[in-house]
Amino acid sequence: MFEKAEVWYRDDSPVAHLAKLIGERYGIRARCFTSPRNGRVFGTVEPNRDGDFVGPAVILADVAHQDLKWLSEFWGHPRVRLVGILPDVNDGRPFQQDILATARCFALLPSGASPDLLCHTVEAAFANMELADREGDSFERAERVREELNHIGVALSSTRDVGSLLEMILSKAREITSADAGSLYLVEASRPDRGPLVEPERCLRFRLTQNDSRQFPYAEHTLPISEESMAGYAALHGKVIAIEDAYSIPADSPFHFNPAYDELTGYRTRSLLTVPMKSAHGDVIGVLQLINCKRNRAAQLHTPADFDSDVRPFPPRAVNLAESLASQAAVAYENSRLYQDIEAMLEGFVTAAVTAIEQRDPTTSGHSTRVATMTLGLAEAVNRTNTGTYAKVGFSSEQMKEIRYAALLHDFGKVAVREEVLVKAKKLYPWQLTILQHRFEYLRKQLEADRDRTKLETVLARGHEAAREELSCLDEEFRQKSNELEEHLHSILQANEPRLLPDGKFELLIEASRKSYRDSLGREYSLLTPEELGSLLIPQGSLNNDERRQIESHVVHSFNFLVQIPWTRELKYVPWIAGAHHEKLNGSGYPYRLRGDEIPIQAKMMTICDIFDALSAADRPYKDAVSVDRALEILEVCVRDHELDSDLFRIFVEARIFQPSHIAISLAGREGF
């Protein structure tokens, strides 16, 4: 290694924290780079006037911070190597890969690279320069390896699917080491049935195997983390194991080779390389096991002669490359698992939120799920259509997920609406009706008591026989007043239903409100209070203007709640889609009176599905369910009134999104969406 090797970085670069991680191993310098054309560049490999630096340099450069633009003058310099740092996919910084710039880097690393990985890479860069000094002819080969590592780094950093990532890790590890076969193990916690308070034990899951020369029988299984197996030993101690011949492992070695697969398939395992995958924190999260390093990468091993002639031990260079890739792969795997865990957590939150909505308003249980399913079905139908306004509109899988979350959470703001308003089934609240019925019962008892008192006074004054006719008149008067009271109560009970009042019922209510009664203390009250009368005079439905405003406010509450969630870039429009599901094309909707193209197409689709479900659902306490045909007729009227999108409604009808069978199929197809 060069005696005066240094690592440089721009003084204002975000990679400073990485440089400090390896400060104990190398000379670290922050530099303010300027163009050498101005004669002010620091970093020339020749001694400057102060004799400040005479050796080669590795420069750490942030590819999202345009460091490479400033350092372009060093491209191709024989004693300088650039190591590019890729931003994390979740750190929020914009990143557009500069293909030319990244291609000039010796290696690309993620911003979460571990100190070991960084040191390995820097060491490889200096080794590359030293090798170039010694062997000019091998420089092109090293450049090819460097470019290969660059492509691997970019691919690993951009892959989120865990299954695809693991396949890529093993495939690329075999590729750069010329391994004929390989396996990948993941460290996981086993769950023995010993109670929730017992800490689970760690084990290795045999997750993946690849082989260029044989088709191995493969089934996932677990094995203990112990020194008896090479994978277990590497996971336990975090050490690399390189074996020249699997059948010649020393007898005193703690681990041994299991020849079962060789015996089953006729394969012959010779050289073995077992590499732990270490996280950024130094924890072993998996193990790579590479088998049979080939002299010719393209060769296939079929006969014993092939194994004798084409298989060699893994050279030190391959061991170093595999170890570097394993550390880089571990960071990428952890990032992918973190992304997966975040998605699972978000899915759990959405499920819990829908449960909270339905517990708050059990009368509409299932509404959010049905609307989400129909809206997704309509979006899929839009994807299939090739005529009309939306022939060129298509929704990606991420947009479909965005639509689903918006539809599931569109009514979440109902948690902020008073429960008695939310579940109000009739014009009067149950407690109001109970008070009113008790009032009428009190009045009937009062009429009965007044009659009996008057009858007693009459009999005592005139005698029973003389007062017989007057007593009969008192009974008739009581009967008439009692019937009149019952008629008023009946008209109130009819008016209390959330339906359009028949002609004449308003007059009966107003007449009842003009009547009064006296309590036991002689105080006079109206038969109906102004609040009761106002509620009973609601033309249709069960809500007065103030209550309707409270219900409508749930949209604003939904938006204000959802907009506080730090949605990912792919889901950032969830609040706006959910917040527009009661808007109408003609501006008659709420809460913002949006018109036409001001309303997102996703919200337009949801509006159609939301109205259809509200009309056809049998669980609404304030109305009876209407038939599918009647619901479609009402939606068609809304289309004619320019409230709903005509093309989307046409697709909704033609695709028969509303059919129970379609909804059931859609639900079954989206389990674990």
| CATH number, position 605 | 1.10.3210.10
pLDDT of residue 671: 42
Query: By three-state DSSP, how is residue 83 classified?
Result: strand
Q: What is the mean pLDDT of the segment spanning 97-125?
A: 78
DSSP 445-470: HHHHHHHHHHHHHHHHHH-TTTTHHH
pLDDT at 329 over 70: yes
Lowest mean pLDDT among 126-140, 288-302, 471-485: 126-140
pLDDT of residue 377: 94
Phi, psi of 249 (to 5 degrees): -70, 130
pLDDT at 275 over 90: yes
How many CB atoms neighbour CB 132 within 10 A?
19
pLDDT of residue 70: 63
In 3D, which of 582, 583, 548, 577 has the Cα closest to residue 562?
Answer: 577
Phi, psi of 56 (to 5 degrees): -75, 170
Structure tokens given for 354: 């829908």
DSSP 542-558: S--HHHHHHHHHHHHHH
Lowest mean pLDDT among 43-52, 179-188, 426-435, 572-581: 43-52
Q: What is the mean pLDDT of the segment spanning 636-660?
A: 92
Q: Which of 519, 541, 563 is the last residue of a domain?
A: 541
Given a contact cutoff of 8 angstroms between Cβ atoms, the answer to whether 377 and 606 are in contact is no
Helix (H) or strand (E) holding 181: strand 179-189
pLDDT at 351 over 80: yes
pLDDT tens-place string over residues 596-615:
999 999 999 999 999 999 88
pLDDT of residue 583: 94
Residues 171 and 280 in one domain: yes
- Cα separations (Å) of 566 from 67, 284, 349, 562, 579? 29, 31, 13, 9, 16
Structure tokens given for 7: 């690592």
pLDDT at 269 over 90: yes
DSSP 183-238: EEEEEEE---SS-TTSPPPEEEEEEEEEESS-------EEEE-STTBHHHHHHHH-
pLDDT of residue 596: 92
pLDDT of residue 16: 80
How many CB atoms neighbour CB 67 within 10 A?
24
Structure tokens given for 585: 């094309």
pLDDT at 577 over 50: yes
pLDDT of residue 28: 81
pLDDT of residue 624: 61
pLDDT tens-place string over residues 497-524:
877 666 556 777 787 778 777 777 778 8
Residues 138 and 178 in one domain: no
Phi, psi of 340 (to 5 degrees): -65, -40
Q: How far apart are CA 139 and CA 128, in angstroms?
A: 8
Sign, CA torsion 564/568/572/578: negative
pLDDT at 667 over 80: no
pLDDT of residue 3: 52
How many CB atoms neighbour CB 20 within 10 A?
12
Phi, psi of 84 (to 5 degrees): -85, 140
pLDDT at 299 over 80: yes
Q: What is the mean pLDDT of the segment spanning 627-646?
A: 93
pLDDT of residue 604: 96
In 3D, which of 74, 124, 93 has the Cα closest to residue 15?
Answer: 93
In angstroms, how far apart are the furthest CA atoms of the chain? 142
pLDDT tens-place string over residues 130-183:
777 665 545 555 556 666 666 666 666 666 677 777 888 888 889 889 999 999
Residues 265 and 413 in one domain: no
Q: How far apart are CA 594 and CA 645, in angstroms?
A: 13
Q: What is the mean pLDDT of the segment spanning 53-58?
A: 68
Structure tokens given for 156: 């690993």
Residue 80 CB burial class (10 angstroms; 0-12, 13-18, ≥19)? buried
Mean residue pLDDT across the chain: 81
Angle at 250 between CA 245 and CA 252, to 5 degrees: 155
Enclosing domain of residue 379 = 361-421+546-669
Q: How far apart are CA 119 and CA 363, in angstroms?
A: 62
Residues 537 and 554 in one domain: no
Q: Which of 485, 518, 541 is the last residue of a domain?
A: 541
pLDDT tens-place string over residues 578-591:
999 999 999 999 99
Structure tokens given for 17: 């924290």
pLDDT at 629 over 70: yes
Residues 243 and 301 in one domain: yes
Q: What is the mean pLDDT of the segment spanning 238-264?
A: 91
**Start-end of H helices in 361-390:** 367-384
Single-letter residue type at 591: P
User: What is the count of structural domains for the chain?
Assistant: 4
pLDDT at 372 over 90: yes
Q: Which of 507, 541, 575 is the last residue of a domain?
A: 541
Q: How far apart are CA 233 and CA 506, in angstroms?
A: 87
Residues 40 and 61 in one domain: yes
Cβ-proximal residues to 652 (8 Å cutoff; 6+ apart), any chain: 378, 381, 608, 609, 612, 658
Percent of the chain at pLDDT > 70 equals 81
Peptide bond into 591 cis (omega under 30): yes
Q: What is the mean pLDDT of the segment spanning 49-69?
A: 65
Task: Identify the band that residue 73 occupies on the pLDDT scale cut at 50, 70 and 90.
Answer: low
Number of C-alpha atoms within 13 angstroms, CB side, residue 371?
31
Here the CATH number for the domain that contains residue 59 is 3.40.50.2300
Residues 565 and 582 in one domain: yes
pLDDT of residue 50: 42
- Cα separations (Å) of 54 from 20, 43, 70, 536? 22, 9, 21, 94
Q: Which residue has the higher pLDDT, 94 or 42?
A: 94
Residues 296 and 184 in one domain: yes
pLDDT of residue 575: 94
Query: By three-state DSSP, how is residue 80 classified?
Result: strand
Going by their DSSP bridges, the two strands 524-526 and 516-518 should be labelled as antiparallel
Residues 517 and 555 in one domain: no
Task: Identify the band that residue 47 occupies on the pLDDT scale cut at 50, 70 and 90.
Answer: very low
Percent of the chain at pLDDT > 90 equals 27
Residues 485 and 523 in one domain: yes
Here the CATH number for the domain that contains residue 308 is 3.30.450.40
Residues 168 and 202 in one domain: yes
Structure tokens given for 511: 């007449």
Given a contact cutoff of 8 angstroms between Cβ atoms, the answer to whether 609 and 378 are in contact is yes
Residues 323 and 404 in one domain: no
Single-letter residue type at 294: K
The structure's pTM equals: 0.60
pLDDT at 53 over 50: no
Cβ-proximal residues to 478 (8 Å cutoff; 6+ apart), any chain: 447, 448, 451
Structure tokens given for 312: 């060699």
Task: Identify the band that residue 620 occupies on the pLDDT scale cut at 50, 70 and 90.
Answer: low
pLDDT at 52 over 60: no
